[in-house]
Structure 1
Amino acid sequence: MLNFLNKTRQVLYPGVRNLSNTLAARQSNVSSETTAAAGDKIAVPKPALILPQNYKDYAPVNKNSARQAWIENVDAVKERKLGLIELHPDVFAAQPRVDIIQENIEWQRKYRYVSLAHTKTRAEVHGGGRKPWPQKGQGRARHGSIRSPLFKGGGISHGPRSPTTHFYMLPFYKRVLGLTSTLSVKLAQDDLHVIENAEIPTRDAQFLKDLIKERNWGPSVLIIDKQDEFPENICYATDYLGYVNLMPAYGLNVYSMLKHDTLVLTVDAVKHLEQRLLYQLHRNDATSKGGKFKLDQV
């Protein structure tokens, strides 16, 4: 059998002793010809992104609770892992304080609420200008107006007066811990995804629908980027999708994160959030932030 193969090789490739080298040479020639025909354009695959965490400035409380997340692509519907990003444990692996999350939700619900309930006092009710009966002589109680709160149709005493604001300010570090707790909960529940950037190839909304369906990103999606100016294509694609919202990193809040099922962060947004939150958690003048809130403070 070996002799037969050697004879066949000599017939097909006369004067050649190593067939594997010959095939490799032929393949290299074909690839070089294809490259030359294509105008010397070689599609070199991009190396995988590995973004390690820098613990030099802010050392974590517990290094054993370090977290990592895949960096996903958005240039195609099919999912492709572009690399890994290491997340700071003080931001994305904090103890989930459900009580602080609830306080943040109540605070955000009430600080924008203004009550319009309004009642009229005896001075604002129509009528009742004269004294209903004489002061003395008839054995009746003394009254000066039928619009007194004691009469039916009269004014209301101690009733609600509009507009009444329910604004109050939550303590500073409860707001900071609310963000870290919510980010940690989202990551633990696999509802937090990291993408390289917000650049999608088309402005068609169907592409974004197929992308969300393929990735199982849930009924509603909140996309966060560092800048407040998003790329043009994703702005057009999300214009008529009520369940997909865009938000800059400086506007991220607990209520919006819990309102949406899936939180999608760009790499720049992750780095920006880590930088801002770690600064607040390790700042030297933290005691100055614990004072009572004043409306005229900057």
Structure 2
Amino acid sequence: MFCPKHIFCRLNSQNLKNLFTFNAARNVTTTGILKAEDKTDVAGDLETASDPHLYVPDRPPLPIVTSRQLEYPSEHLPSKQAWLDTMATLEDEKLGIVDLHPKIFGTYPRIDILHNNVDWQRKYRFIDYSFARSRAEMPGGGKKPHPQKKTGRARQGSIRSPIYFRGGKALGPRGPKSYFYMLPKVKRVHGLCCALSAKYAQNKLIIVDSLEIPKADQQFLEDLIDVRFWGFSVLFVDDSDIMPRNFSLAVNQIPHFNAMPVYGLNVYSMLKHETLVLTLAAVEKNRKQTITNFI
């Protein structure tokens, strides 16, 4: 369970002269989720930490998002909460706490629904190219191999009969054959909710403000993943297929890091990667699409 007080555990009264006052906007939008109605005022200067283990910010912190009005809140389930991170720095920096819809990130992860989605995604792209020629398509075999009678052998009409060694196949494969079928829309959306809930429950769901990184360096992105313990394979999801230039150049050089827009988010890709990183804009867009189609 996330607690907003944890972010102030090292910012006690001995290190700060005055408290910070924040005014978070109630009616927020996708792009202005972190913007307050008024500017954040910091009273006094920050003291230098006497203890090197204490963390004193070098700049005034951004407004902490402690609550957010969901468009379609649940009447019986409390909202889920997650930290909001940033990729602008190498160290893990918390920008605030965001509320998540409980029916998207708090549903029971049904294994059968996840299996149906994974099986569907594997089969709809598969094409069987196996092909075997029938006796009509085999060359030769027009002449009767031996007379009908007076030979003591069974009567035969062609050496391309299926009972011959090099004859045609009676019931062989007739490819190419497509295994495409459409999974019901309810199961597809339910599978997305189950996969997102599973990542959230496993603490493998990371929400960031954006995918902006200071430089287009592959090593910087790898160090960022290692410092934050995000795992070996990471899937980055943004609200659009046009992503920041520095991030695109860096992630393109790492084979086990992948990026996709939110409209391409699927169960197979989420389960294939160890960690799922969503931008705040992608969370908002996914919430609107999921609520419109399912909830």
Compute the displacement of 1:44 (Å).
5.7
* The structure with more radius of gyration: 1
Compute the displacement of 1:172 (Å).
1.1
The answer to whether structure 1 residue 48 and structure 2 residue 63 are counterparts is yes
Residues 1:247 and 1:81: Cα distance change in structure 2 (over 3 Å): same
The answer to whether structure 1 residue 100 and structure 2 residue 116 are counterparts is no
1:10-67 CA deviation, whole Å, 9 max, x = no partner?
A: xxxxxxxxxxxxxxxxxxxx99xxxxxxxxxxx8624234163434x42325323x21
Question: Whole-Å Cα distance in 2 between the matches of residues 51 and 135 of structure 1?
Answer: 93
Paired residue for 1:167?
180
Paired residue for 1:295?
none
Q: Choose which of 235, 238, 247 in structure 2 pairs with 1:222.
A: 235
Q: Choose which of 72, 77, 81 in structure 2 pairs with 1:63.
A: 77
Residues 1:109 and 1:266: Cα distance change in structure 2 (over 3 Å): same
Residues 1:118 and 1:61: Cα distance change in structure 2 (over 3 Å): farther
Compute the displacement of 1:278 (Å).
1.0
Residues 193-204 of structure 1: pairs in structure 2 closer than 5 A: 193-204=206-217
- Scaled by the length of structure 2, the TM-score of the pair is 0.77
The answer to whether structure 1 residue 114 and structure 2 residue 127 are counterparts is yes
Question: Whole-Å Cα distance in 2 between the matches of residues 213 and 252 of structure 1?
Answer: 24
Identity %: 45
Secondary structure of the residue that 2:207 maps to in structure 1? strand
Compute the displacement of 1:151 (Å).
1.0
Q: Which structure's residues are more often helix, by fraction?
A: 1
Equivalenced residues, count = 240
Q: Which amino acid aligns with 1:201?
A: P
1:184-211 CA deviation, whole Å, 9 max, x = no partner?
A: 0000000000001011000011100110
Q: Which moved more, 1:268-277 or 1:117-126?
A: 117-126
Compute the displacement of 1:164 (Å).
0.9
Residues 239-278 of structure 1: pairs in structure 2 closer than 5 A: 239-278=252-291
Compute the displacement of 1:144 (Å).
1.3
Secondary structure of the residue that 1:82 maps to in structure 2? strand
Compute the displacement of 1:280 (Å).
1.0
Report if the CA contact (8 A) 2:83-2:207 is conserved.
Answer: yes
Q: Which amino acid aligns with 1:167?
A: F
Q: Choose which of 191, 196, 203 in structure 2 pairs with 1:183.
A: 196
Which stretches of structure 1, 4 residues or longer, exceed 4 Å deviation after superposition? Answer: none
Q: Which amino acid aligns with 1:90?
A: K
Residues 1:44 and 1:219: Cα distance change in structure 2 (over 3 Å): closer
The answer to whether structure 1 residue 207 and structure 2 residue 199 are counterparts is no
Question: Whole-Å Cα distance in 1 between the matches of residues 74 and 131 of structure 2?
Answer: 52
Residues 1:175 and 1:249: Cα distance change in structure 2 (over 3 Å): same
Residues 141-160 of structure 1: pairs in structure 2 closer than 5 A: 141-160=154-173
1:144-167 CA deviation, whole Å, 9 max, x = no partner?
A: 101100111111111111111111
Secondary structure of the residue that 1:270 maps to in structure 2? helix
- Scaled by the length of structure 1, the TM-score of the pair is 0.77
Compute the displacement of 1:139 (Å).
4.1
Report if the CA contact (8 A) 2:73-2:101 is conserved.
Answer: no
What runs of 5+ residues in structure 2 fail to find an aligned partner? 1-44, 47-57
Paired residue for 2:92?
79
Residues 16-55 of structure 1: pairs in structure 2 closer than 5 A: 45-50=60-65, 52-55=67-70
Report if the CA contact (8 A) 1:62-1:89 is conserved.
Answer: no
Question: Whole-Å Cα distance in 2 between the matches of residues 246 and 269 of structure 1?
Answer: 12
Compute the displacement of 1:168 (Å).
1.2
Report if the CA contact (8 A) 1:53-1:88 is conserved.
Answer: no
Report if the CA contact (8 A) 1:186-1:192 is conserved.
Answer: yes
CA RMSD of aligned residues (A): 1.8
What runs of 5+ residues in structure 1 fail to find an aligned partner? 1-29, 32-42, 283-298
Residues 1:253 and 1:51: Cα distance change in structure 2 (over 3 Å): farther
Residues 1:254 and 1:54: Cα distance change in structure 2 (over 3 Å): same
